[in-house]
Structure 1
Amino acid sequence: MSNSETAAAAEIMLNETYAYGKPQVQASFKQTPTDFQVNEILGFEPEADVKGQHHWLQIEKSGVNTDHVARALAQFVDIQARNVSFSGMKDRHAVTTQWFSVELPATKLVDWNAFAEPGVRILQAVKSNRKLRRGTHKWNEFSITLRDVSNVNELLARVEKIKAGVPNYFGEQRFGYQGSNLTKAEGMFAGRRIKDRNLRSIVLSAARSYLFNQYVSTRLAQHGTALLAGDVMQLTGSHSFFVAEHIDTTVLQRVASGDIEVTGPMPGRGRSPVQGAAQEFEEALLAQFKPWLEGIERAGVDQSRRAMWLQAENLVVDSEQNVVRLRFRLTTGSFATSVLRELAQVTS
């Protein structure tokens, strides 16, 4: 991908293939922070231990990003920001709840009620002997308000369609402002060094995410929802995989029931397990990005798989005049914007 193409990455992402055709409905989003609400669900209760050195904090924030909160917590207890961890990044322009853990000496007492930061509120605090690690939480619950909807009935009709699933694209926020993370990736793969380890990780993630999106978009355009012999299937809700050498009735029934999911590539080191027709398609598509593939492998990132389709769970919708409210739940690592793009042309 050339520099000019990278600079236009944000525009390219808008043209990724739609599952149900590009929506004609238009709507406004994020007119206020409360129009986008996200609640992080761990899927378990933090293991309490009064002698633990990790303080787990459930925090509500509005108008600030996750890194800002982490730095504020570190400053409050006079530690390095690297000793504050969280499971996932949450949008700045939203009202969100998420968990942090702060590592401190076990004997140190902290009055978290004294913590004061604009737009930030601690909901609960639990001492534990375990650190909160990235990707620990199981779901994100979303409450989204779309305003100035040009055709409410048409949008509601598309809601019925997306219940079958949407492409599991990475959202444009993964790629930085105007695709800036992809520009950095191209520079890094050309030999430019990125010293900041966190930034380097973000850039590599953006590059792999972009390649995944390109795979899903191209496959959807060429093959629709059809499975290919040799597809790598994932057991839903797990990281267990197997190769479907033949697409028979059993495989189709398991996909239809939600027992298994077809996956796409997250490029990196190691041999992809994909076979047959699926392998031919995957290799042909990724060959267009050979310098990127080589750069990702040199960086020491291992290849993995990601589900190609995304299900909005517990989807509830209500409307009033030209306002539509949606509530749904997504698994960790999925993007609400991938759901919204199938419903309407949204202006934030």
Structure 2
Amino acid sequence: MFGDCRPGSDNAPYLTSDLVGLGGHLTGEPSDFIVDEIPAYDASGQGDHVYINVRKVGLTTPELVKAFANSSGCAPSDIGVAGRKDKWAVTSQWLSLPVEPVEPDDDRIRLIETKRHNHKLRRGHLRGNRFRIKMSGLTETSDECIQALLSRLDRGVPNYYGHQRFGIYGDGPDYSLSQMRRRSRRKTRDLRFSASVVQGALFNIWLGRRVNDGLFHTALSGDVYKKVETGGLFSSETPQIEQLRLDKLDIDPTGPIYGPKMRAALAEAGQREIAVRDEIGLTEKDWATLGRLGKGSRRLARVRPQNLKVEVDGRDLFISFELPSGSYATVILAELTHTADDLKAK
């Protein structure tokens, strides 16, 4: 039903598809894929909760939480996290505990820093993530090619959901829809994740159509924009004016995460969102189930990596950048390399 919605597919084409990609692949070594969480705020230094910055490798975030719960004598549910980090990478992130932390006896875990704060760390309480990545096996290393790709990144690229969301073979959305249709046999938590996969596929399809139609950097009447400075949302009534602000990078377009609480686009932009909804082939019952499991929202459609640095050494690429929470490093890498199938492990 959905087809392949992964970046680089016909449904979700690269913005850089007209340029020569660098080729290459991830090395598979955790030390070549480093992720550091950027907190949304600094701990105050006072309070009943202890914030800890932890570096891990070879562990999922739930496994990390369980390890600290066991060593510190509290329940895993008492520990707060802002987000999840990759297992097969070297990552640092903040946790909060209601008790004094005891570092687990596990060489995959290292406690870096502790601070006190007056409330538990909640999901989403992070500004973004900082990445340092090495890729090998480049097939193109000319300065001209690299600069053309970086120039495209500087203006912003599609904020697709990455391969991780859709599974190794890209069949995650169809499988997730089947699980939603058999909802009585599944846990609510699992069904909500299934709904998020379907919502992600719909978003990528909508965004891919904007790219395919040459409208990615074009303001349309009724588009919903996010102000870069304040984060506020507004609907476009004067696309000529919004186009100027879009070009100056003062605002970013947003796309639909379909659900009852979603702020819908209007006019021409709204018709494009309705077209995706009507043409995808979900039944009214499917939409009702999706609405119960996923409230809906808006997602940034354009993402610009910050503090981007690139170095090429022979056939190796060393790249570092920062992304806002919810954006995928592999989407940025795929726009550079055009080798998305070699990036799905991260």
TM-score by length of 2: 0.88
Residue 47 (structure 1) aligned with residue 44 (structure 2)? yes
How does 1:161-310 map onto structure 2 within 5 Å? 161-179=152-170, 181-193=172-184, 195-225=186-216, 226-236=218-228, 238-248=230-240, 250-270=241-261, 272-289=263-280, 290-291=282-283, 292-299=286-293, 301-310=294-303
How does 1:1-348 map onto structure 2 within 5 Å? 1=1, 5=3, 16-21=12-17, 23-49=20-46, 52=48, 54-104=49-99, 110=100, 112=102, 114-153=103-142, 154-179=145-170, 181-193=172-184, 195-225=186-216, 226-236=218-228, 238-248=230-240, 250-270=241-261, 272-289=263-280, 290-291=282-283, 292-299=286-293, 301-346=294-339, 347-348=342-343
1:107 is aligned to: none
Give the distance between the partners of 2:126 and 2:104, measured in 1 at CA: 24
Shift of 1:123: 0.4
Contact kept in structure 1, 2:8 and 2:338, CA below 8 Å: no
Give the distance between the partners of 1:10 and 1:253, measured in 2 at CA: 31
**Any idea what SS the aligned residue of 2:220 has?**
coil
Q: What residue ranges of structure 1 are gaps of 5+ in the alignment? A: 105-109
Q: Which amino acid aligns with 2:314?
A: Q
Give the distance between the partners of 2:87 and 2:229, measured in 1 at CA: 28
Shift of 1:21: 0.9
**Any idea what SS the aligned residue of 2:138 has?**
coil
Deviating more after overlay: 268-277 vs 208-217: 268-277
Give the distance between the partners of 1:151 and 1:44, measured in 2 at CA: 40
Q: Alpha carbons of 1:244 and 1:193: their partners in 2 closer, same or farther (altered >3 Å)? A: same
**Matched positions, count:** 334
Shift of 1:261: 1.1
Kindly, what percent of the aligned residue pairs are identical? 25
The superposition leaves residues 183-225 of structure 1 with CA deviations (integer Å, 9 ceiling, x where unpaired) of 4521233132365444333222222111111110112112432
**Any idea what SS the aligned residue of 1:162 has?**
helix
**Any idea what SS the aligned residue of 2:288 has?**
helix
Q: Alpha carbons of 1:166 and 1:11: their partners in 2 closer, same or farther (altered >3 Å)? A: closer
Deviating more after overlay: 270-279 vs 131-140: 270-279
**Any idea what SS the aligned residue of 1:317 has?**
strand
Contact kept in structure 2, 1:29 and 1:146, CA below 8 Å: yes
Give the distance between the partners of 1:148 and 1:229, measured in 2 at CA: 44
Deviating more after overlay: 268-277 vs 160-169: 268-277
Q: Alpha carbons of 1:282 and 1:26: their partners in 2 closer, same or farther (altered >3 Å)? A: same
Give the distance between the partners of 2:237 and 2:71, measured in 1 at CA: 56
Q: Which amino acid aligns with 1:121?
A: R
**Any idea what SS the aligned residue of 2:115 has?**
strand
Deviating more after overlay: 16-25 vs 257-266: 16-25
Q: Which amino acid aligns with 2:81?
A: F
**Any idea what SS the aligned residue of 2:13 has?**
coil
The superposition leaves residues 254-304 of structure 1 with CA deviations (integer Å, 9 ceiling, x where unpaired) of 1112211111101111464311111111101111343343321132x3221
Q: Alpha carbons of 1:140 and 1:270: their partners in 2 closer, same or farther (altered >3 Å)? A: closer
Q: What residue ranges of structure 2 are gaps of 5+ in the alignment? A: none
Shift of 1:24: 4.0
Contact kept in structure 2, 1:9 and 1:178, CA below 8 Å: no
Give the distance between the partners of 2:8 and 2:131, measured in 1 at CA: 26
Q: Which amino acid aligns with 1:133?
A: R
Q: Alpha carbons of 1:314 and 1:149: their partners in 2 closer, same or farther (altered >3 Å)? A: same
The superposition leaves residues 5-56 of structure 1 with CA deviations (integer Å, 9 ceiling, x where unpaired) of 5xx666985862111216543202133112111111114211222x50x221
Deviating more after overlay: 307-316 vs 189-198: 189-198
Contact kept in structure 1, 2:8 and 2:14, CA below 8 Å: no
Q: Which amino acid aligns with 1:330?
A: L
Contact kept in structure 2, 1:243 and 1:273, CA below 8 Å: no
Q: Alpha carbons of 1:193 and 1:239: their partners in 2 closer, same or farther (altered >3 Å)? A: farther
The superposition leaves residues 96-121 of structure 1 with CA deviations (integer Å, 9 ceiling, x where unpaired) of 111111234xxxxx353x42223111
**Any idea what SS the aligned residue of 1:138 has?**
strand
**Any idea what SS the aligned residue of 1:341 has?**
helix
Give the distance between the partners of 2:196 and 2:202, measured in 1 at CA: 10
TM-score by length of 1: 0.88
Contact kept in structure 2, 1:40 and 1:97, CA below 8 Å: yes
Deviating more after overlay: 193-202 vs 116-125: 193-202
Root-mean-square deviation (Å): 2.4
